[in-house]
Amino acid sequence: MSDIKNEISRRRTFAIISHPDAGKTTLTEKLLLYGRAIQSAGSIKGKQNDKHAVSDWMEIEKKRGISITSSVMQFEYDGYCINILDTPGHQDFSEDTYRTLTAADSVVMVIDAAKGIEPQTRKLFKVCAMRHIPIFTFINKMDREARDSFELLDELESEFGIGTYPMNWPIGCGVDFKGVYDREKQRILTFADAHAGGTRIEAIECDINDTEKLDSLIGMYSRQNLCDELELVEGAGYEFDLDLVRSGKLSPVFFGSALNNFGIEPFLENFLKMTTEPLPHRSGEKIIEPTEERFSAFVFKIQANMNKAHRDRIAFMRICSGKFERSHEYFHVQGKKSIKLSRPQQMMAQEREVIDTAYAGDIIGVFDPGIFSIGDTICDESLKCEYAGIPTFAPEHFAIVEQIDSLKRKQFDKGITQIAQEGAIQMFFIPNSGMERVYVGVVGTLQFDVLQFRMESEYGVKYNRIDTPLSLVRFAEMKDGSELSDLNLMSTTKHVIDRKGRDLLLFNAEYEINWALDKNENLVLKEFSQLEEFE
């Protein structure tokens, strides 16, 4: 048992979130560099050596230069075993990020110093706040022109209703960026844009009152500004409180430049000391501690065709308690049967390594023959736990997808079904018709492009897509148990069935919903589960 406790105590599992282009993927790669998980940092296509980011494994990600799906990466650093969940920044893929946040114990929020808080950052933060996840802020791109640092902190505090505590303070920005001052250790890291992470930046010990030394390091003008700003920070800022940090009420803030690998290692070292070990999880009225000896986990993501050589489906599981052992049988709660998890793997984006053991806090991937759904619980049968389901968000855009080549019907059915099981799209059938023509619903329209690309590249299938003005969906049932086929609906309202056989109605606008309820007194409409279910 002591071995299990020791292994769990050194786990750190966190997600990195941001708006697109804030530098999230670049920061992820620099962290991997320090863990020696990769030898050199790739760049988004079109920059530097035309490499793609290691965490962007999907072909369309490499071509478009954006993160579309969450990646999982594990590495060792200074005695810690670190699990990073790199998430999509684009709002059209936010549902994948929401699900991934359920598997994280803390969050690193990357903010562009010139842009501040952007809409997607705001949405993601609300999810973190609901779950009281500790939030660490990295203000990136200080080597470019940036907004006033006090303005950025004020925006964080007013927008999110939390305190901020700058762990370091920037000395200028853009062409005048001289480095950062470490408040706790009273030392300066001087900036050089030629630094690419090959060597460690040595901090220079320097008391803030040592005027002569400061002038020689950063110049008199920068020294005067630094001293004035630090006086304001010390006088008007929040005091550091680790309990508030770990309850998500105080965000430690770091300034730096991910692209130039500046400020990354001090950030990583401080973050690992402040963030929590794996946290307990709730099963009904019961709290399952990570050090509970019996194994338990939940599925938060399913991904097909991650590796062209394998052509399989991987279910990603967050281990919540105990020790996972490859040879053991575990109980699939929703499937109500014992299973052996086939070829359990740990991930480095799309790269895999078969493992024999894993511990609470780890993320593992297991082969899924089609039995798992997002939110499923797998555990030691004697533990008898079931973790709360992960909410599905109502799609806001709908299109009709119809196959072109009848000879590829099986590939069409398989592709649409497998991608729908991942949760990225939702598929709806037209009653009394086959799979040749289905409705597809998505949260963001870019998902339509991803679906088309993946169907062609992974399943060899082309199809026709007909966009519709439909934008609202409701579960539908009759109070008297009668069939929905007899409903009096507007001609633009569509009756569909989901993969679980449930009836739904698709509407163009709110007035169509009111019409349906007015004309059908036995009709009951229910909304999809909403974001509030994270609470």
Above 50 in pLDDT, residue 190?
A: yes
The residue among 370 and 509 whose pLDDT is bigger is 509
pLDDT-derived band at 163 (thresholds 50, 70, 90) equals very high
* pLDDT tens per residue across span 300-320: 888 776 555 556 778 899 999
Instruction: Answer positive or negative: Cα dihedral of 459, 463, 466, 470.
Output: negative
Dig out the tokens for 417 from the structure. Answer: 């079904």
- Percent of the chain predicted with pLDDT > 90: 44
CA distances from 475 to 82, 210, 394 (A): 41, 68, 11
The whole-angstrom separation of Cα 145 and Cα 175 is 8
Instruction: Give the whole-angstrom CA distance, residue 65 versus residue 483.
Output: 48
Lowest mean per-residue pLDDT among 144-153, 187-196, 473-482: 187-196
| Residue 255's pLDDT band (cuts 50, 70, 90) | very high
- What architecture is domain 9-274? 3-Layer(aba) Sandwich (3.40)
Query: What is the C-alpha separation between 201 and 194, in angstroms, rounded?
Result: 12
388-405 pLDDT per residue, tens? 877 677 888 999 999 998
| Torsion sign (Cα): 414, 415, 418, 420 | negative
> If you average pLDDT over every residue of the chain, what do you get?
83
Question: Average pLDDT, stretch 471-497?
Answer: 89
Burial (0-12, 13-18, 19+ Cβ within 10 Å), 417:
middle
- 535 pLDDT more than 50: no
What is the Cα–Cα distance from 70 to 352, expressed in whole angstroms?
A: 15
Residue 177: pLDDT over 60:
yes
Structure tokens at 492: 């633009």
Q: Which of 411, 473, 414, 408 is nearest to 439 (CA)?
A: 473
Residue 144 · residue 173 · CB < 8 Å:
yes
Find out whether 95 and 422 touch, Cβ atoms under 8 Å: no
CATH 3.40.50.300, the chain: domain bounds: 9-274, 281-379
Q: Which amino acid appears at position 79 of this protein?
A: G
Mean pLDDT value across residues 341-357:
77
- Provide the token pair at 449: 């492009």
Query: From CA 70, how far away is CA 100, in angstroms rounded?
Result: 7
- The pLDDT tens digits of the residues spanning 406-441 come to 888 999 998 888 888 777 788 999 988 777 789 999
Strand partners, 317: 299, 364
Q: Which pLDDT score is estimated for 40?
A: 52
Q: Is 373 in contact with 334 (CB distance < 8 Å)? A: yes
For 19-56, how does the pLDDT look when each residue is reduced to its tens digit (9 = 90+)?
Answer: 778 888 888 888 888 776 665 544 333 334 434 444 44
Q: How far is CA 376 from CA 72, 118, 454, in A?
A: 19, 33, 25
Q: What is the pLDDT of residue 399?
A: 95
Structurally, at CATH architecture level, domain 397-534 sits in: 2-Layer Sandwich (3.30)
Which residue type is seen at 11? R
CA distance 140 to 134: 19
Which segments of 102-170 does DSSP mark as H helices, in order? 119-130, 149-160
**Residue among 163, 386, 177 nearest 263 (CA):** 177
Q: Under CATH, which architecture does the 281-379 domain have?
A: 3-Layer(aba) Sandwich (3.40)
What residue ranges of the chain are covered by domains with CATH 3.30.70.3280?
397-534
Residue 214's pLDDT band, with cuts at 50, 70 and 90, is confident
Q: How many C-beta atoms surround the C-beta of residue 313 within 10 A? A: 20
